[in-house]
Chains A and B, each alone.
Chain A
Amino acid sequence: MKEWKGFNDGIWTTNIDVENFILENYTEYKDNSDFLVGTTKKTEKVWNKCLNLLKEELKRHVLDIDTVNMSGINSFKPGYIDKENEVIFGLQTDAPLKRMVNPYGGIRMVYKELEAYNYKLDPTVDKYFNEFRKTHNDGVFDAYTKDIRAMRHYGLLTGLPDAYGRGRIIGDFRRVALYGIDKLEEVKKHEWDEVFVGDMTDDLIRLREEISMQYKALEEMKKMALSYGFDISKPASNSFEAVEWTYLGYLASVKESNGAAMSLGRVDAFFDIYFERDLKNNLITETEIQELIDQFVIKLRLVRHLRTPDYDELFSGDPTWVTCSIGGLTKKGKSLVTKTSYRILHTLENLDTSPEPNMTVLWSVKLPKPFKEYCAKVSILTDAVQYENDDLMRPIFDSDYAIACCVSAMRVGKDMQFFGARCNLAKALLYSLNGGYDEIKHEKVLDGIDFNKDKVLNYETVKKNYFKVLKIVARTYSNAMNIIHYMHDKYAYEAGLMSLINTDVHRYMAYGIAGLSVVVDSLSAIKYANVFPIRDKDGIITDFKIEGNFPKYGNDCDAVDNIAKEITSFFFNELKKHKCYKDAEPTMSVLTITSNVVYGEKTGATPDGRKSGVPFAPGANPMHGRDELGAIASLNSVAKLDYKECCKDGISNTFSIIPASLGESDTEKVENLVTLLDGYFSKGGHHLNVNVLDRKTLIDAMENPEKYPLLTIRVSGYSVRFNRLTRKQQEEVIKRTFHTRL
């Protein structure tokens, strides 16, 4: 094929196999960042236009909404920011930051969204989705059981994707560039005609319908691309086309679906192969390459979905989790860092810091030193980078995996996951003490649970009852997941995304937990100190009095850290007992994003001394201020959680440090951050968000938001503009342990 001229052959030439293409063709880069260049005039013009629009959006929260054309791969006319100066093309709708309505998830959600911003749905669409078309949300509620509805209502299970897109599916968008749509269609058609035929069972019928929908989605992609003047039926033949084609593949997915996390995957080494080929033939300059990357990243920064105020309270700051995985090693241990890994991170310097795309470095102790140092430098400068342990994930996911959302690893084009939101483990503990009653609403949620009537809580009794509750919760949680994903497939199937993934995709059922550190410290208090429950007249505990000391999670103390291991392992084993929809493999994450604030708000006082309504720590973090032995002891506690056997969907940890504590000079700061990351990941830690900033700065930013329009911080698993957090969330971030020293 002429588009492949100059590339080394491999399995990829006959099979769809981007991983093999990369391994056969990429150029490892071990040197420093000196080659990087700034922005071009064109990029500056485009970005300045965007900055004005973003300012306007911040004021009004939502810039505009298309209430007539509904979400879809080819539902909108082409849109531009500044056509003359753009070098990468394509917007979700016909104008930048104009949001689409996605009614397939649930029509009631759409009403709420539009009402919040004083818009009204087009009457014809309204009629269709009320009278003729059933939605995902309708389907789910047709099947939900009484238990599921109760646990959902009282906030034991929250954030369930039962009214909006599930997301966390990464299409292999690079396939569009490497193979062109025609080839991808040919493969799907072959499978439909020749492979997936036989006795028509439920499974086979469903699969055939899905393949057919995928094929049609590919057709739509071609049409959408043509509306911008690009023929993507054939492979990309140069650097520009490689980026543009890949972007159009991604764009199709965010036109079609409004998933919570719509991640990009991994493009650094892939793009780099095209750039290197063109550089070799003098067809492109470094400035032109950086311009492509800068403008590609600008496009990713403009992705939006329409959300309700409720949703914003959970996941603040309009996150889209366009997670972009960078770096890592090959399975054989060779670095996958290319010049383009640098170029992508460099956008944070060229275009200011930004929450999106969610820059995720796949860190290995074996990454080239100059690259590690560059990452640390950008991190310290922008607070917009997260790190995940390649040495831990690579043995499981091979050379070509990427992170979806915050911490969920999957092989690109080979795996997907059914996003499962999370379960509030701290609330479950209170249910086990309060006879299955909700401690705040005083209503019965779980049957068959005895009231704890002890004067001083006894560890063994509490644990026994807690495990009983967790068993019940696990069963109901699993049922909820199966229903949600069955209905999601039925009413809001992401055909475009799935068309860029192998038909025999491996699926994960990704459960999640919140409130881990609260539960662990609570059980430690009960075990090592004396905890006296204070009950109201109904026998429901309203507070706890603690006498004596107890070891706290976050101090590298096995006596309590082992409780964390035991709880995660027990709950996951319970979840694993239940069969999953489409034979998905169960996994679990310890991740809250910003929802730790809302979870805390809805959870009564806990035996660790946390008062009612006080926010949880985010993700797997120790509770605020309880990690007394400094940063490393805190990291060591989190690193003990078992990734491979138990929390394979990710263990999120957010680390905040004031600049002076990281080291004296800038060089020392960089060196120490690199050593810290090497240390944490050698200890088996999975994920680390790094914030290097002063608490004072944050307090000032809370009081004077206009002074800090771009201040970006990392919260559990993603970056967010500080001024887009709610006041409560801002206060919680400020309260977090900052590692300082006199």
Chain B
Amino acid sequence: MKSSIASIESFGTVDGPGIRTVVFFNECKLRCIYCHNPEMWNKGKNNMTDIELVESILKNRLYFGKSGGVTFSGGEPLLQKEFLVSVCKKLKKENIHIALDTCGVGTNYDEEILKYVDLVLLDIKHTNSDGYLKITRTNNFNKQEEFINKLNKLNKKVWIRQVIVPNITDSIEYIKSLKEYLKKIKNIEKIDFLPYHKLGEEKYIKLNIPYACKNISEMDKDKCNELYEKFKNL
């Protein structure tokens, strides 16, 4: 079985606990305006088998320690369906901690994948469908909701990630709505506010894709931290 993998980072320390091998899959249905991996939007050539991927992850297992493991990211890993299940099964036999970095827009197959996942890093795009459309340029808000139901049903551990974009998600009103929205999710362990940055812009130039965030400035890190403090005290 083969899939299309954009890249592998062998030393990830920010996508889940401990030291992680982060696998970036190609293909995503969303077109988020601030996406920093636009090269992974489309499904590329299948370039790796499930066995090869498992092997290359296991090569790093001595660095996982007690808390590390693998994180599937992308792109949208949920779109890989059978491939991901096959990889997860093999990794679980080896007792590897599996995290899934997702926006929740997958397929009917999601629950089958989630069975093997220890931790979900859930990217909240927005708390209402208008905002969702504006950011992702797609109408998938319902999918985000459905996915949260699946997480609750399986009682999955969740880390929330919210990108803070100036003038879009950096207002008090927005974080209030976020606080409310997150009450739906049962098992949240951690909430991260990620300040929007422009490091992906060069990729757009290279790929000759218009950069929708061109006129949006980077999010100030301190302001982002302040906002997070406010959010906590709401």
Which A residues lie at the B interface, using CB under 8 A?
556, 628-634, 636, 661-664, 668, 671-672, 674-676, 678-680, 682-683, 739, 741-742
Stretch at the interface among B11-19, B121-129, B154-162, B180-188: B11-19
Q: How far is the CA of A632 from the CA of B7 in the complex (A)?
A: 14
Which 4 A-B residue pairs are closest in the complex by CB-CB distance?
A: A679-B63, A632-B10, A675-B65, A631-B11
Q: Within B108-155, which residues are at the interface with A (CB < 8 Å)? A: none
Contact B11 A739 (CB under 8 A): yes
Q: Is B30 an interface residue (CB 8 A)?
A: no
Q: Within B2-42, which residues are at the interface with A (CB < 8 Å)? A: 7-14, 18-19, 21, 36
Contact B59 A636 (CB under 8 A): yes
Contact A664 B14 (CB under 8 A): yes
Contact A668 B62 (CB under 8 A): no
Q: How far is the CA of A662 from the CA of B14 in the complex (A)?
A: 9
From B7, B36, B60, B65, give the contact of A636 (CB < 8 A): B60
Contact A662 B62 (CB under 8 A): no
Contact B18 A632 (CB under 8 A): no
Categorize the interface residue count of chain B: 20 to 34
Chain B neighbourhood of A632, CB < 8 A? 10-11, 19, 21, 60, 63
Give me 18 A-to-B residue pairs in the complex whose CB atoms sit less than 8 angstroms apart, sorted by A's number. A629-B7, A630-B12, A632-B10, A632-B21, A633-B8, A633-B59, A633-B60, A636-B59, A661-B11, A671-B18, A675-B64, A678-B62, A678-B65, A679-B63, A679-B64, A682-B62, A683-B62, A742-B200
Contact A679 B12 (CB under 8 A): no
Q: Looking at the assembled complex, report how far the CB atom of B182 sits from the nearest CB atom of chain A, in whole angstroms.
A: 20
Question: Given the known A-B contacts A682-B62, A683-B62, are A675 and B10 also in contact in the complex, defined by CB atoms under 8 Å?
Answer: no
Q: A634-B10, A662-B13, A679-B60 are in contact. List 16 more A-B contacts (CB 8 A).
A: A629-B7, A629-B9, A630-B10, A632-B10, A632-B11, A663-B14, A664-B13, A671-B65, A672-B13, A675-B19, A675-B63, A675-B68, A676-B19, A679-B62, A680-B63, A682-B62
From A556, A628, A679, give the contact of B65 (CB < 8 A): A679
Contact B62 A663 (CB under 8 A): no
Q: Looking at the assembled complex, report how far the CB atom of A667 sits from the nearest CB atom of chain B, in whole angstroms.
A: 12
Q: Is B199 an interface residue (CB 8 A)?
A: yes
Chain A neighbourhood of B7, CB < 8 A? 628-629
Chain B neighbourhood of A629, CB < 8 A? 7-10
Q: Which of B9, B56, B199 gathers the greatest number of chain A CB atoms within 10 Å?
A: B9
Q: Looking at the assembled complex, report how far the CB atom of B20 sits from the nearest CB atom of chain A, in whole angstroms.
A: 10
Q: How far is the CA of A130 from the CA of B11 in the complex (A)?
A: 59
Q: How far is the CA of A741 from the CA of B14 in the complex (A)?
A: 9
Chain A neighbourhood of B8, CB < 8 A? 629-630, 633
Q: Looking at the assembled complex, report how far the CB atom of B165 sits from the nearest CB atom of chain A, in whole angstroms.
A: 16
Q: How far is the CA of A662 from the CA of B19 in the complex (A)?
A: 9
Q: Looking at the assembled complex, report how far the CB atom of A616 sits from the nearest CB atom of chain B, in whole angstroms.
A: 24
Chain B neighbourhood of A556, CB < 8 A? 10, 56, 59
Question: For residue A662, which residue of chain B has the nearest CB?
Answer: B13
Question: For residue B65, which residue of chain A has the nearest CB?
Answer: A675
Contact B19 A672 (CB under 8 A): yes
Q: How far is the CA of A683 from the CA of B59 in the complex (A)?
A: 9
Chain B neighbourhood of A633, CB < 8 A? 8, 10, 59-60
Contact B10 A631 (CB under 8 A): yes
Chain B neighbourhood of A680, CB < 8 A? 63
Contact B62 A672 (CB under 8 A): no
Chain A neighbourhood of B200, CB < 8 A? 742
Q: How far is the CA of A680 from the CA of B200 in the complex (A)?
A: 31
Chain B neighbourhood of A634, CB < 8 A? 10
Q: Looking at the assembled complex, report how far the CB atom of A448 sits from the nearest CB atom of chain B, in whole angstroms.
A: 43
Interface of A is mostly: helix
Chain B neighbourhood of A672, CB < 8 A? 13, 18-19
Q: How far is the CA of A668 from the CA of B192 in the complex (A)?
A: 15
Question: Given the known A-B contacts A630-B10, A632-B11, A661-B13, are A742 and B36 also in contact in the complex, defined by CB atoms under 8 Å?
Answer: yes
Q: How far is the CA of A639 from the CA of B60 in the complex (A)?
A: 12
Q: How far is the CA of A556 from the CA of B8 in the complex (A)?
A: 12
Chain B neighbourhood of A682, CB < 8 A? 62
Chain A neighbourhood of B9, CB < 8 A? 629-630, 741
Question: For residue B200, which residue of chain A has the nearest CB?
Answer: A742
Q: Looking at the assembled complex, report how far the CB atom of B161 sits from the nearest CB atom of chain A, in whole angstroms.
A: 13
Q: How far is the CA of A671 from the CA of B20 in the complex (A)?
A: 13
Q: How far is the CA of A671 from the CA of B19 in the complex (A)?
A: 9
Chain A neighbourhood of B68, CB < 8 A? 675
Q: How far is the CA of A673 from the CA of B197 in the complex (A)?
A: 26
Chain B neighbourhood of A741, CB < 8 A? 9, 12, 14
Question: For residue A682, which residue of chain B has the nearest CB?
Answer: B62
Chain A neighbourhood of B199, CB < 8 A? 742
Contact B21 A663 (CB under 8 A): no
Contact B10 A679 (CB under 8 A): no
Q: How far is the CA of A629 from the CA of B12 in the complex (A)?
A: 10
Q: Looking at the assembled complex, report how far the CB atom of B101 sits from the nearest CB atom of chain A, in whole angstroms.
A: 13
Q: How far is the CA of A636 from the CA of B58 in the complex (A)?
A: 12
Question: For residue A742, which residue of chain B has the nearest CB?
Answer: B199
Chain B neighbourhood of A678, CB < 8 A? 62-63, 65
Q: Within B33-81, which residues are at the interface with A (CB < 8 Å)? A: 36, 56, 59-60, 62-65, 67-68
Chain A neighbourhood of B21, CB < 8 A? 632
Chain B neighbourhood of A742, CB < 8 A? 36, 197, 199-200
Chain A neighbourhood of B56, CB < 8 A? 556
Question: For residue B56, which residue of chain A has the nearest CB?
Answer: A556
Chain B neighbourhood of A671, CB < 8 A? 18, 65, 67
Contact A668 B10 (CB under 8 A): no
Question: Given the known A-B contacts A556-B59, A636-B59, A682-B62, are A675 and B18 also in contact in the complex, defined by CB atoms under 8 Å?
Answer: yes
Chain B neighbourhood of A676, CB < 8 A? 11, 19, 63
Q: How far is the CA of A628 from the CA of B11 in the complex (A)?
A: 11
Chain B neighbourhood of A679, CB < 8 A? 19, 60, 62-65
Q: Within B164-195, which residues are at the interface with A (CB < 8 Å)? A: none
Contact B13 A663 (CB under 8 A): yes
Chain A neighbourhood of B65, CB < 8 A? 671, 674-675, 678-679
Question: For residue A632, which residue of chain B has the nearest CB?
Answer: B10
Q: How far is the CA of A636 from the CA of B62 in the complex (A)?
A: 10
Q: Which of A629, A634, A663, A683 gathers the greatest number of chain B CB atoms within 10 Å?
A: A629
Q: Looking at the assembled complex, report how far the CB atom of A479 sits from the nearest CB atom of chain B, in whole angstroms.
A: 42
Q: Looking at the assembled complex, report how far the CB atom of B53 sits from the nearest CB atom of chain A, in whole angstroms.
A: 13
Q: How far is the CA of A675 from the CA of B14 in the complex (A)?
A: 15
Q: Looking at the assembled complex, report how far the CB atom of B12 sits from the nearest CB atom of chain A, in whole angstroms.
A: 7
Chain A neighbourhood of B19, CB < 8 A? 632, 672, 675-676, 679
Q: How far is the CA of A668 from the CA of B65 in the complex (A)?
A: 13
Question: For residue B36, which residue of chain A has the nearest CB?
Answer: A742
Q: How far is the CA of A652 from the CA of B13 in the complex (A)?
A: 25
Question: Given the known A-B contacts A675-B68, A679-B19, are A630 and B11 also in contact in the complex, defined by CB atoms under 8 Å?
Answer: yes
Q: How far is the CA of A634 from the CA of B8 in the complex (A)?
A: 12
Chain A neighbourhood of B14, CB < 8 A? 661, 663-664, 741
Question: For residue B8, which residue of chain A has the nearest CB?
Answer: A629
Q: How far is the CA of A629 from the CA of B64 in the complex (A)?
A: 16
Q: How far is the CA of A683 from the CA of B197 in the complex (A)?
A: 36
Q: How far is the CA of A631 from the CA of B199 in the complex (A)?
A: 20
Q: How far is the CA of A678 from the CA of B14 in the complex (A)?
A: 19
Q: How far is the CA of A680 from the CA of B59 in the complex (A)?
A: 11
Question: For residue A661, which residue of chain B has the nearest CB?
Answer: B13
Q: How far is the CA of A664 from the CA of B11 in the complex (A)?
A: 14
Q: How far is the CA of A634 from the CA of B14 in the complex (A)?
A: 19
Question: For residue B203, which residue of chain A has the nearest CB?
Answer: A742
Q: How far is the CA of A679 from the CA of B12 in the complex (A)?
A: 14
Q: Looking at the assembled complex, report how far the CB atom of B191 sits from the nearest CB atom of chain A, in whole angstroms.
A: 13
Q: How far is the CA of A742 from the CA of B196 in the complex (A)?
A: 11
Q: Looking at the assembled complex, report how far the CB atom of B157 sits from the nearest CB atom of chain A, in whole angstroms.
A: 18
Q: Looking at the assembled complex, report how far the CB atom of B84 sits from the nearest CB atom of chain A, in whole angstroms.
A: 20
Q: Which of A630, A680, A682 gathers the greatest number of chain B CB atoms within 10 Å?
A: A630
Chain A neighbourhood of B11, CB < 8 A? 630-632, 661, 676, 739
Question: For residue A556, which residue of chain B has the nearest CB?
Answer: B59
Q: Looking at the assembled complex, report how far the CB atom of A173 sits from the nearest CB atom of chain B, in whole angstroms.
A: 37
Question: For residue B12, which residue of chain A has the nearest CB?
Answer: A741
Chain A neighbourhood of B60, CB < 8 A? 632-633, 636, 679
Q: Looking at the assembled complex, report how far the CB atom of A622 sits from the nearest CB atom of chain B, in whole angstroms.
A: 13
